[in-house]
Structure 1
Amino acid sequence: MIDFLLTLFTLKKKKRTGWTLHGIETPESIADHIFGTTFLAFLLANETYDVEKCIKLALVHDIHEAILGDLPSSRVSKGKKRKKEEQSFEILLSTLEIKKETIQELWFEYFLRKSKEAKFVRDMDKIEMIFQAFLYAKNYVEHGKDISQLNLDEFFNSAKEELSTSIGKKMFKTIKREFTLLD
């Protein structure tokens, strides 16, 4: 248990690679991202979804990054990335004695998008990403900096392609509109 937690808690210090590659000075940690995704899932899940399940899926969705780190899709093929994520998850899980099966079931449900909740949480993962992009852009504008240097459109474009729920698509439009107003 202690080894699992020691590894898991490294997520508090590991930075999200996409932001680092885009020159963000103080990028969010992976744990920050998991918190944001979890809170969005809790806040936006309607009666269509099992809210408790959404929260649990969001909590475990990126825990493999405690081993792997945040591996951006632009750096490796989708197939290789999935394999590395799965291997990292198995390594992390090997250090856990309690709730192992529950965490494994949740992670694979999310990973394979087996349920409507998993698809919804995947959308919240993407919404958290673009909301974070909006926050970085807003901070740049407030400090008199030019946000075009950040090239954040890449994040919005990738999110838009992957969204599958009406809630995710609606939130995307709202955040994108606010982002556009910053220019």
Structure 2
Amino acid sequence: MDAEDAEDAGDPDAADDTDAAIDAILEAYALKDEGRTGWQLRGVDAPESVAAHTWGVAYLVLALGDRFREDLPGVDLDRALRLAVVHDVAEAETGDVATRADSTADRADHASKEATERAAMVDLAGPLPDDVRNAWEAYEARETPEAVLVKECDLLDTCLQAVLYERDDRYDPTDGRPDAFVEYDALEEFFATTESRLRTGTGRAIFERLRERYRTVRARSATSEGADSDGSE
């Protein structure tokens, strides 16, 4: 142990700082169990957690980020990964507030939601390096190419998840379907929520491919449901 480590080991303030950081991290780990509200409202069987969604967004940044360089020149994918990792961390304290596309559903006030999440970040990131809070603020501002990329991937991740849930038969649109969603067929609501919020040509092109794939899978599911209702084996 060198002199500096020895000094830290006997420094109660250093120990307090470490304990505060551990407490903040434990709070953030609630994301591992925080279910994604939109899927829950739709009755998806065993829907993903917010942390699982966060991993999906980070993976899309890594896997598809280069495709966005024409729309977002100079984008730094390593920096974008930092933003992706923290982009929903405030929900460890606030919970996941769903964005509803349906005109009859309740919508969260954006300014109130942002203020609540910013207050949560004071608690969650306070004892941690400034990079954590700064990355979250940069994502919320949407002023850098990295923040725009992460938001595009955030939106596209939802569409990918809808394809998976439909493909893997983890969603039954006839099972307790809420009246608030009747204007959308099955999981089409999530594509309706996404479409107008995409800001890049690359994001919109990927979105169209995903929507086409979803509708193909959905058509097969609907055919199967119709056969089952007719008593076919």
TM-score (norm 2): 0.71
Residue 80 (structure 1) aligns with: 112
Letter in 1 for 2:134: E
Residue of 182, 188, 201 corresponding to 1:153: 188
Letter in 2 for 1:21: L
Secondary structure at the aligned position of 1:45 is classed as helix
Alpha carbons 1:73, 1:81 under 8 Å: kept:
no
TM-score (norm 1): 0.90
Unaligned runs of 5+ in 1: none
Shift of 1:165: 1.5
Residue 138 (structure 2) aligns with: 109
Residue 203 (structure 2) aligns with: 168
After TM superposition, the structure 1 stretch with the greater mean CA deviation from structure 2, 32-41 or 49-58, is: 49-58
Residue of 114, 125, 128 corresponding to 2:157: 128
Alpha carbons 1:57, 1:107 under 8 Å: kept:
yes
Residue 37 (structure 2) aligns with: 17
Q: Number of paired residues?
A: 177
Alpha carbons 1:131, 1:175 under 8 Å: kept:
yes
User: Aligned partners of 2:172, 2:44: CA distance in 1, in Å?
Assistant: 13
Unaligned runs of 5+ in 2: 1-20, 101-106, 178-184, 220-233
Q: Which has the larger radius of gyration?
A: 2
Residue 38 (structure 1) aligns with: 58
Moved over 4 A (4+): 145-150
Shift of 1:147: 5.0
Secondary structure at the aligned position of 1:73 is classed as coil
Alpha-carbon RMSD:
1.8
Question: Residues 136 and 77 of structure 1: is their aligned pair in 2 closer, same or farther, counting only changes over 3 Å?
Answer: same
